Amino acid sequence: MSNPSLLILAGDGIGPEVMAEVRKVIAWFDAHGTSFDVTEDLVGGAAYDVHGTPLADETLAKALAADAVLLGAVGGPKYDVLDFSVKPERGLLKLRKELDLYANLRPAQCFDALADFSSLKREVVAGLDIMIVRELTSGVYFGEPRGIFTEGNERVGINTHRYTESEIARAARAAFDLARQRGSRVCSMEKANVMEAGILWREVAQKIRDEEYPDITLSHMYADNGAMQLVRAPKQFDVILTDNLFGDILSDAAAMLTGSLGMLPSASLGATGPNGYPRAMYEPVHGSAPDIAGQGKANPIACILSFSMALRYSFNLGDQADKLEAAVEKVLADGLRTADLLGPAGGTAISTSQMGDAIVAA
């Protein structure tokens, strides 16, 4: 059997710097019996510089053929002046759209060594391990009609919060599948009290649970209460299933429970691809961080944990993912910190490359 294939798109800013550390991790796995066929290409500003477009057709074709895509970050001040249609971010959006990645997975996990980083008290977040599944292709960001129209003597801005049953169902299945690998609990969040799409969301999620996932415990919560509960007692949750808009907001809130942007991975999953793996793109939550790019200061952990999500969710290599996450946990417990993890107490920061080396050694 051939190895699973991975397309690496390092992108801009700190993207290539953090990706270099992932390559060390991939090399370690290769030397220890788990190999991937890795190809690399350009995306974002780096692709624009060469091809005049943030995502060349050949690159998209490679992404469609690959079993998973691992992306660094795109964008930077150099590209701010570009026309909207060729901005680096458009490359990313096009990839998501063409791969039809409808489920965005954002874990919020609090490593014990960093629990004092959270804006909340240690006891509220220590050991936190939740997963938000955000629907990514529909809802109010895409619904029609949309636009700014003139009505009488004033203008009106309109967006439409629209969900079809099948869009809700496929996001729900992604959440239930995940829950089977975790704690078997899903909390679905919407505003069924004031929104029709919310009523349908609740109904469809419940139906899929009852018909296909009787082993999963499903609860429902209004998203405003969900926001409150996330900052009050986040450990009550395991998997949270929610729509595009609420997911955007709730996952950013959940992210800050854990402290640092440099620690947060993400996955976006779609339907089954050509080789039986789901279409998938993995990327750190952080951006290209132009303020620290080129200085060897970036924290590579978000990107390394994104690769770990690929091991777990694309390739069914949960044991290897556990190993990698344990290595990250160990270096943090040993007190190793990149600059973003130093905090008010200070200390000595290690470089991007030293952090990658330490994780590989662990």
Does the annotation place 215 within a ligand binding site? no
Q: Which is nearer to ligand ATP, 25 or 174 (CB)?
A: 25
Reported for 163-166, long-range contacts at CB under 8 A and 24+ positions apart, including other chains, are 163/135, 163/138, 163/139, 163/197, 163/200, 163/201, 163/243, 164/138, 165/200, 165/204
Does the annotation place 82 within a ligand binding site? yes
Q: Is residue 141 annotated as part of the catalytic site, yes or no?
A: yes
Q: Is residue 224 annotated as part of the catalytic site, yes or no?
A: yes
Sign of the CA dihedral with 251 first, then 252, 255, and 261 last: positive
Q: Which residue out of 30, 49, 210, 252 is catalytically annotated?
A: 252
Q: Which residue out of 37, 224, 319, 322 is catalytically annotated?
A: 224
Place of tokens 């991790």: 25
Q: Which is nearer to ligand ATP, 109 or 188 (CB)?
A: 109
Among 198, 262, 270, 356, binds ligand ATP (CB under 6 A): 262
- The minimum distance between CB 106 and ligand ATP, in angstroms, equals 14
Among 60, 82, 86, 261, binds ligand ATP (CB under 6 A): 261
Among 67, 243, 248, 340, binds ligand ATP (CB under 6 A): 340
Q: Which is nearer to ligand ATP, 258 or 299 (CB)?
A: 299
Q: Is residue 252 annotated as part of the catalytic site, yes or no?
A: yes
The verdict on 82 binding ligand ATP (CB under 6 A) reads no
Answer whether 356's CB lies under 8 Å from 20's CB: yes
- Note if the bond before 145 is cis, omega within 30 degrees: yes
Q: Which is nearer to ligand ATP, 24 or 162 (CB)?
A: 24
- The minimum distance between CB 262 and ligand ATP, in angstroms, equals 3
Does the annotation place 252 within a ligand binding site? yes
- Strand partners for 275: none
The verdict on 75 binding ligand ATP (CB under 6 A) reads yes
Q: Is residue 207 annotated as part of the catalytic site, yes or no?
A: no
- The minimum distance between CB 287 and ligand ATP, in angstroms, equals 2
Q: How far is CA 45 from CA 53, 91, 107, 211, in A?
A: 8, 9, 28, 46
Q: What x/- string results for residues 275 through 314 when contact with ligand ATP is judged by CB under 6 A? A: -----------xxxx-xx-----xx--x------------
The residues annotated as belonging to the active site are: 141, 191, 224, 248, 252
Q: What are the binding residues for Mg(2+)?
A: 224, 248, 252
Per CB under 6 A, residues contacting ligand ATP are 14, 18, 75, 261-262, 286-289, 291-292, 298-299, 302, 340
